[in-house]
Homo-oligomer: A and B are copies of this chain.
Amino acid sequence: MAVGLKALVALAPVAGVRVGTASAGIKKAGKLDLVVFELSEGATVASAFTKNQFCAAPVQVAKKHLAASAARYLLINTGNANAGTGQAGRINAIRCCETLAALTGVAADAVLPFSTGVIGEPLPVEKIETALPGALENLVADGWNRAATGIMTTDTLPKGVSKMVLIDGKPVTITGIAKGAGMIKPNMATMLSYIATDAAVDAARLQSIFSRAVDRSFNRITVDGDTSTNDAAILVATGKSGVVINDANGNQFEDAVTVLCIELAQMLVRDGEGATKFVAVVVNGGAVEQECLKAAYTIAESPLVKTALFASDPNWGRLLAAIGRAGIEALDVDLVELHINGVLIAENGCRAASYTEAQGVAAMAGEEIEIRVNLNRGAASTTVWTTDLSHDYVTINAEYRT
């Protein structure tokens, strides 16, 4: 059901990062469900976590460990989210970190834990502890593709991107993987993404670059507006390429990271539950970006707009109604222009004089839809990516337990 999602290409190793995987038996026997990233000493780490206040135990522990120590290992399990598990969940997450730390000779707070899967069930700590030595034994530089499979839950395909950019004349590699969740597959509780580069970036600069990149990518996608208790994204910089990111080359590096994050984020949307359309909602002409975001998200999360998209129905009345309830201060509705895949649909508060139903039907026929709104009251703009709302979405979310 994925919309335009391609098979995963071979991902490039990143010097200073090794990846190990194992089958711990949390998911069905034989399925990869445990992933370990080993980071070289001196690597810097930037992070972004769910804002959900019911955040899962591993999120709470990872945040504490990040604040306390330099990270040397990332430990990810799928099949169980260790969310909604209270104090026992935190103890279990810490115990997994301690076990990995003991096996590798680092401090327990040098391990960052991540979990994704069923909510509310106790984490099967013993299974993870039993499988960890195997994951460490097969640590390899080119383990990224196996890791992309190992972090999957209900994803239909593994997701990842590698980029090579020349900075100061020298090659820098950035590789990232993601699993589709966040607002997209939250019944399995999580969007996770792990990205690494061999550039050298001090921790403060890396965090500010990553925060902006996340805001323009993972924070610009939605399938149903629901957010997960376990969302996390990590960017590691090992420095092994010898290229140091500074004020002069920072923008070039940030652009590369941002594009990679957008590509990963779009893969998540394309694999959204029940998706039959990949939809970009572009809002231009806002007084400030925040009001563009309000309009874009109200459109992207409107069940009426999403069911119309599923039906390939150019129902511009629902789009105008969504803009009208987006909470934009003193909006002059007569100035609003609406295009779908380049066809002018509405202006002056009503259907465009030039518009024909045949144009609208043609514009909605494909799998890739661009809804473009011009508020015509300023220079701000934004883009949000989303999917339609299909029968399969209801089926997946109503019947996944059976």
Residues of B within 8 A of A212 (CB): none
**A331 — which chain B residues lie within 8 A by C-beta?**
53
* CA–CA, A329 and B325, complex, Å: 24
A192 contacts B by Cβ under 8 Å: no
Q: Verify B391–A391 contact, CB threshold 8 A.
A: yes
Within the assembled complex, what's the spacing in Å between the Cα atoms of A389 and B315? 21
Q: Is there a chain B Cβ closer than 8 Å to A49's Cβ?
A: no
Q: B398 touching A333 by the CB < 8 A rule?
A: no
B229 close to A303 (CB less than 8 A): no
Q: Give the A interface residue count (CB, 8 A).
A: 61
A389's contact among B187, B351, B394, by CB below 8 Å, is which? B394
Pick the residue among B83, B313, B351, B398 that contacts A311 (CB under 8 A): B398
**A315 contacts which chain B residues (CB < 8 A)?**
187
CB contacts (< 8 Å) of A41 on chain B: these are: none
Residues 87-109 of A contacting B (Cβ, < 8 Å): 87-89
- Min CB gap A39→B, angstroms: 30
Interface contact A54-B323, CB-CB below 8 Å = yes
Nearest residue (CB) in B for A226 is: B304
Q: Mark A194-212, 1 if CB is under 8 A from B, else 0.
A: 0000000000000000000
Tell me, yes or no, whether A120 is within 8 Å of chain B by CB: yes
Cβ < 8 Å to B, chain A residues 17-64: 51-55
A397 CB contact (under 8 Å) in B303, B324, B348: B303
Tell me if A225 and B390 are in contact (CB < 8 A): no
Are A227 and B321 closer than 8 Å at their CB atoms?
A: yes
A307 within 8 A of partner (CB): yes
Closest to A389 in B: B394
A52 near B311 with CB under 8 A, answer: no
B324 touching A54 by the CB < 8 A rule?
yes
Which residues of B lie under 8 Å from residue A303 when comparing CB positions? 224-226, 303, 389, 393, 397
For the complex of A and B, the 9 pairs showing the least CB-CB separation, nearest first, are A119-B317, A54-B324, A86-B350, A307-B397, A311-B398, A224-B303, A52-B324, A53-B324, A86-B349
Q: Does A308 contact B (CB under 8 A)?
A: yes
Chain A contacts with B in 343-378, Cβ cutoff 8 A = 346, 348-351
Is there a chain B Cβ closer than 8 Å to A399's Cβ? Answer: yes
Q: Does A144 contact B (CB under 8 A)?
A: no
Least CB distance from A225 to B in Å reads 7
Contact A325 B394 (CB under 8 A): no
Of B86, B225, B310, which contacts A348 at CB under 8 A? B86
A-B contact sample (13 more), CB < 8 A, given A53-B324, A119-B317, A186-B321: A51-B325, A52-B325, A54-B324, A54-B349, A86-B348, A89-B350, A187-B318, A189-B317, A189-B321, A224-B303, A225-B302, A313-B398, A394-B394
Do A324 and B229 touch (CB < 8 A)?
yes
Contact A227 B52 (CB under 8 A): no
* 27 residue pairs bridging A and B, Cβ less than 8 Å apart: A52-B321, A52-B324, A52-B325, A54-B324, A55-B324, A84-B317, A84-B350, A120-B317, A186-B304, A189-B317, A224-B303, A224-B304, A225-B303, A226-B302, A226-B304, A226-B325, A227-B325, A229-B320, A229-B321, A229-B324, A304-B397, A307-B394, A308-B398, A311-B399, A313-B398, A391-B394, A391-B395
